[in-house]
């Protein structure tokens, strides 16, 4: 729901009217009709002028593990995907897209292969979450869908700041980046809320990282890690490091050793990600992932292996390409 448009439409009314409308939407109602403390005249006006969502649902699929992937279109026709992950312990985590497509070209990511359309607005991000909020309560959000959040910093920060209204606290909100420095620097300087930071690292050296993530030529490792350390110093929250394991590319014991050398053990926590097939590579075997992790364990660098969700419906990390 475009709240700016709501405020503009209700500009002759008391400002609390807009807040009332948002409070209903954030709690997961599906129509203006349900907003019983808003007058029928106001509701009719909204009905006429403000679409209930900035996105229309084009397709939805449910995985065998009950993960749900939704494909939406923006009002100007661009595709956007979002994913709801349901965990056994009851957690409900929503993965949001910050852009339609992505201008970066990470070689292992399906989104990087599709055409970049545009940045999404904060409302278009919140409407992805609200879609799932209407299904059931949600408690975690990760900005790990299509796009690079730090290329769309203002809108991402605005969306993240409103998530508590939907039931998602800042501590349960994570923004993931390739290390796009202008946005990352602003995030560290300007976001004082305890929102988590994740860095897509994927290689322990500049040479290898540049080979699989061309953006590294622009913003090399040391500069990006320095910014992450600054986040840790200021916020006292660990930075999650994402590391997708590509067979024979970045998954040897030597790579693991180099990673353990590179990262300060108090400031970073590694999340090893099994590669979800997108064409270019083969994923590392379970044995190789285990061996990689044991090197990090021995070096006492905290590390976990990410659970793969929704692979059968192409909803897993790196598979969002709007090919429903």
User: Which residues are at the interface with ligand SAH (CB under 6 A)?
Assistant: 108-109, 144, 148, 176-178, 200, 242, 244, 273, 275-276, 278, 317-318
**SS3 of 11, please?**
coil
Alpha carbon distances (Å) from 96 to 85, 135, 150: 11, 16, 14
In whole angstroms, the minimum distance from the beta carbon of 177 to ligand SAH comes to 5
- Using alpha carbons, select from 58, 152, 162 the residue that is nearest to residue 97: 152
In whole angstroms, the minimum distance from the beta carbon of 290 to ligand SAH comes to 17
Name the residue with the smallest CB distance to ligand SAH: 318
* CB closer to ligand SAH, 32 vs 180: 180
* CB closer to ligand SAH, 38 vs 141: 141
Residue 318 tokens read as: 């790196």
Q: CA 123 to CA 128: how far, in whole Å?
A: 9
Residue 31 tokens read as: 């129509």
In whole angstroms, the minimum distance from the beta carbon of 170 to ligand SAH comes to 18
In whole angstroms, the minimum distance from the beta carbon of 106 to ligand SAH comes to 6
Q: The tokens 């403390």 sit on which residue?
A: 37
Strand locations in the chain (E): 55-62, 68-74, 79-86, 92-95, 99-100, 118-119, 140-143, 173-177, 196-200, 239-245, 268-274, 303-305
Q: Contact at 8 Å (CB) between 318 and 309?
A: no
The dihedrals phi and psi of 93, each to the nearest 5 degrees, come to -115, 130
* CB closer to ligand SAH, 26 vs 95: 95
Q: Across the chain, which distance is largest between two alpha carbons, in Å?
A: 68
* CB closer to ligand SAH, 28 vs 310: 310
* CB closer to ligand SAH, 109 vs 195: 109
The dihedrals phi and psi of 243, each to the nearest 5 degrees, come to -140, 105
In whole angstroms, the minimum distance from the beta carbon of 26 to ligand SAH comes to 24
What is the torsional sign of CA 161, 164, 170, 176? negative
In whole angstroms, the minimum distance from the beta carbon of 33 to ligand SAH comes to 36
Count the Cβ atoms, other than its own, within 10 Å of residue 82. 25
* CB closer to ligand SAH, 130 vs 241: 241
- Which amino acids are annotated catalytic? 81, 317
> Long-range contacts of range 74-77, CB-CB < 8 Å, 24 or more positions apart?
74/100, 74/120, 74/124, 75/51
């Amino acid at each position: 729901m475009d709240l700016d448009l709501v405020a503009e439409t209700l500009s002759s009314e008391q400002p609390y009217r807009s807040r009332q409308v948002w409070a209903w939407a954030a709690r997961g109602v599906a129509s203006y009709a349900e907003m019983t403390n808003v007058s029928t005249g106001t509701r009719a006006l909204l009905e006429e002028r403000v679409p209930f969502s900035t996105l229309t649902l084009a397709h939805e699929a449910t995985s065998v593990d009950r993960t749900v992937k939704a494909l939406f279109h923006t009002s100007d026709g661009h595709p956007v995907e979002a994913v709801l992950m349901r965990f056994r312990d009851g957690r409900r985590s929503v993965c949001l897209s910050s852009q339609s497509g992505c201008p970066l070209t990470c070689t292992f990511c399906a989104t990087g292969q599709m055409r970049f359309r545009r940045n999404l607005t904060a409302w278009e991000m919140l409407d992805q979450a609200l879609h799932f909020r209407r299904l059931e309560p949600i408690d975690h959000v990760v900005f790990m869908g299509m796009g690079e959040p730090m290329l769309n910093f203002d809108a991402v920060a605005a969306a993240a700041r409103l998530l508590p209204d939907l039931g998602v606290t800042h501590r349960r909100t994570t923004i993931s980046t390739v290390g796009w420095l202008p946005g990352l620097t602003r995030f560290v300087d300007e976001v004082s809320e305890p929102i988590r930071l994740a860095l897509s690292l994927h290689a322990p050296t500049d040479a290898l990282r540049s080979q699989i993530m061309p953006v590294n030529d622009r913003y090399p490792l040391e500069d990006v890690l320095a910014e992450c350390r600054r986040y840790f110093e200021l916020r006292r929250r660990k930075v999650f490091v994402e590391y997708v394991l590509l067979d024979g590319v970045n998954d040897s014991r030597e790579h693991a050793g180099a990673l353990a050398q590179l990262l300060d053990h108090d400031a970073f926590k590694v999340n090893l990600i099994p590669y979800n097939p997108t064409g270019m590579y083969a994923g590392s075997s379970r044995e190789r992932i285990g061996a990689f992790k044991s090197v990090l364990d021995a070096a006492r660098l905290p590390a976990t292996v990410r659970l793969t969700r929704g692979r059968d419906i192409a909803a897993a990390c790196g598979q969002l390409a709007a090919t429903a």
